[in-house]
Amino acid sequence: MNAPVAKFWAVIPAAGVGRRMGAERPKQYLQLAGRAVIEHTLERFLNHPGLQGVVVAVSDGDPYWPRLKHASDARIERVSGGAERADSVRNALLALVDRAAGSDWVLVHDAARPCLAAEDLARLLQTLRDHPVGGILGTPARDTMKRVNAEGEIEATVDRATLWHALTPQMFRLGPLLRSLELARENAWTVTDEASAMEQAGLKPGIVDGRADNIKITRPEDLAYAEWLLGRTG
């Protein structure tokens, strides 16, 4: 008997407040080309025919999410966000346990990364669908990299040949990713992204070369750049 075909799900942690933006609302709800940033992000996944559904982790009492048209989309489930990104992702994965197999793939993507190219998403799915661990989108470091001390002084130039910028989506199987996040929680590991949790659990994620314009909106100038990118690509 053939093994069941793994399905694909998306998880969007969207409980952050975006302090570096200095805006009146979290960055995922800022206006971008006529819609909230997170609406552009969600459309990148909702428009892909291979995805089963999306889980969005939103802060309890968030006044902005209910105003979006996506809040009533049957393909999207809302769960409570956590204090940290890893907590939000864990809550979303727990919501999937009852309807997804442990071997199903989960793609975790930043809410404030609205410029994901359709071809990058397709390449990630195709490249990693048979990978034993899973992996992430990334771009090789192109600039000269410096290691700096606490006083803001350069200590060394770092060889960039093996350095990559980690992007999202990050794609792992539901069971192993949830176990890795549980281990991180129990051992107080520092988890900056899903790949770091998998790495600390002893696994070796793959990396797929992606577009450098898959930017994360973090600072005010990023919003204007993202609007230009969206206008260029439609």
Q: So what's the pLDDT on residue 6?
A: 78
3 is a domain residue: no
Nearest 5°: phi and psi at 27? -60, -30
Is the pLDDT score of 219 beyond 70?
Answer: yes
Residue 20 confidence (pLDDT):
61
Q: Is 221 exposed, middle or buried (0-12, 13-18, 19+ CB in 10 A)?
A: exposed
23: pLDDT strictly greater than 80: no
Find the range with the poorest average confidence among 7-21, 182-196, 200-214.
7-21
Position 234 scores a pLDDT of: 58
**pLDDT higher than 70, residue 21:** no
Q: pLDDT tier at 19 (50, 70, 90 boundaries)?
A: low
Number of domains in the chain: 1
Is 170 contained in some domain?
A: yes
2: in domain: no
Query: Per-residue DSSP letters for 34-64?
Result: TEEHHHHHHHHHHT-TTEEEEEEEE-TT-SS
Name the strand (E) or helix (H) holding 202.
none
pLDDT of 1: 46
pTM: 0.94
Is the pLDDT reported for residue 5 higher than 70? no
Is residue 1 in some structural domain? no
CA angle 38, 40, 42 (to 5 degrees): 65
Q: Residue 30 domain-assigned? A: yes
Q: Is residue 37 part of a domain?
A: yes
pLDDT tens profile 47-69 = 998 899 999 999 999 999 999 99
Burial, 200: exposed, middle or buried (Cβ in 10 Å; 0-12, 13-18, 19+)? Answer: middle
The pLDDT tens digits for 103-142 are 999 999 999 999 999 999 999 999 999 999 999 999 999 9
Query: For the domain that residue 127 is a member of, what is the CATH number?
Result: 3.90.550.10
Domain encompassing residue 38: 8-233
Task: Select from 138, 106, 145 the least CA-distant residue to 214.
Answer: 138
Minimum mean pLDDT among 114-118, 158-162, 165-169, 229-233: which range?
229-233
With b meaning 16 or more CB within 10 Å and e meaning fewer, what string describes 65-84?
beebebeeeeebbbbbbbeb
Would you say residue 21 lies in a domain?
yes
Q: Is residue 185 part of a domain?
A: yes
Give alpha helix (H) positions in 47-173: 85-96, 118-128
